[in-house]
Amino acid sequence: MDIKTYISSGVVEAYALGNLSPEEASILECVIKNNKEVQQAVFEMQQTFEKLATAGAMKPPSHLKEEILKKIEFGNEQPGGKIVSIATEKTPIRSNYSIPVWMKAASVAVLFGLGYMGYALNSKNGEMELIAQNNMELSSKVSSLQEMNSILKNSKKIELKGVAKHPDMLAEVYWGESEKVYLDIRNMPNAPTGKQYQLWAIVDGKPVDLGLYDHGKDSTVQPMKTVAKPQAFAITLEKEGGNSTPTMDEMIVMGTI
C-alpha cells in the first residue's frame, strides 16, 4: 500500500485518538520519522480533533469567578495566629486552627470548577443539544474510520488499470471475506458535469452494479455496495445517477482478481 492509501486508510485518525494497538502505533511512528507527508497528516488530524473539542467548549461568564471569590476569606489569618517556619519549628496544636492558604487556594479552584459546571448544566438547551450532536457525529465518523481501517487491513487490493483509450488511468478496489468493497480513485480526473464514475463487479460473467463514486466527499477511499465471489472489477463513465447496465465504450479502468 502506498503512502496516500496508507494515510487515507484511517490509521492516522485512529492514532490521533489513541486507538491504535502498541504495535500499530510503533509502525506509524517509525513511518512518521521517515516520511514528511505522513508526519504532516498526523499533525493536521491532531489539530482537527483539537479544533472540534474547542468548538464544543463553553466559556463561563466573567462575573462567576469574582462572585465565588467574594464568598471566601482568602489569605486572612485569624487574630492571634502565629506564622511558623516549617523548616525550623513544629506547629503546636491550636484550638483556633486556621485553614492554610494553599488549602484555601485549592478550595477556590474546586468551587470555581463546580460553579462552572453548574453554569454549563444550566446553559441553554439549544447549546447543549448542539454539543451533544457534534459529539455524536464525531463519534460516528471515528467509528466508521476504525471499521474501514480494519476492513482494509484484512482485504485484498485489486488494481484497476486504464483500458486502451485511457492508458494512464488507475484505481484500486479493496475486497475481502466480509464482501464489503472500498474504491480508491488513484489517477482519474473528476467526472465531467452531468457524469459520474460507476463501479461494477463481474460475477459469473455478468456485470453487477456496485454504486457511484462521489468526488465531493473528503475521503478518496469510499465504501461501495457489497458483492460475493467477484471475478473482476471495472469503472465506467455514466450519466449522473448511474445506469442499470454499463456503457462498454465508456469503460475507463478494469482489473481481475
Q: What is the pLDDT of residues 112-164, one digit of tens each?
A: 555 555 555 555 455 656 666 666 665 555 555 666 666 667 788 999 999 99
> CB-hemisphere CA count at 13 Å for 109?
6
Q: Is the dihedral of CA 196, 197, 203, 204 positive or negative?
A: positive
Together in a domain, 170 and 217: yes
Report pLDDT for 148.
61
Together in a domain, 163 and 181: yes
Sheet containing 181-187: order of strands: 206-212, 195-203, 232-239, 251-256, 156-162, 170-175, 181-187, 221-223
Together in a domain, 207 and 247: yes
pLDDT (tens digit per residue) in 43-100 = 887 777 666 555 555 556 666 666 666 666 555 545 555 544 444 444 444 444 444 4
- pLDDT band for 32, please (50, 70, 90 cuts): confident
Answer whether 208's CB lies under 8 Å from 231's CB. Answer: no
Together in a domain, 141 and 67: no
Together in a domain, 250 and 220: yes
Answer whether 174's CB lies under 8 Å from 157's CB. Answer: yes
The more confident residue out of 106 and 191 is 191
The secondary structure of residue 248, as a DSSP letter, is G
Based on the structure, what is the number of domains in the chain?
3
- The H-or-E segment that residue 179 falls in is none
Together in a domain, 166 and 48: no
Among 234, 236, 238, 235, smallest CA distance to 195 is for 238
Together in a domain, 24 and 11: yes
Together in a domain, 239 and 167: yes
Answer whether 199's CB lies under 8 Å from 211's CB. Answer: yes
> Which CATH number characterizes residue 190's domain?
2.60.40
What's this model's pTM, rounded to 2 decimal places?
0.46
Q: Rounded to the nearest 5 degrees, what angle is found at the Cα of 133, between the Cα atoms of 225 and 65?
A: 155
**Cell for 57?**
467548549
Together in a domain, 104 and 28: no
Q: What is the rounded distance in angstroms from the CA atom of residue 39 to the CA atom of residue 233?
A: 33
Strand pairing report for 232-239 and 181-187 = unpaired
- Report the residue count for the chain: 257
Together in a domain, 206 and 143: no
pLDDT (tens digit per residue) in 1-31 = 567 777 777 777 778 777 778 878 888 788 8
Q: What is the rounded distance in angstroms from the CA atom of residue 211 to the CA atom of residue 198?
A: 6
Together in a domain, 196 and 233: yes
Question: Which domain, by its residues, includes 32?
Answer: 3-57+128-153
Together in a domain, 248 and 195: yes
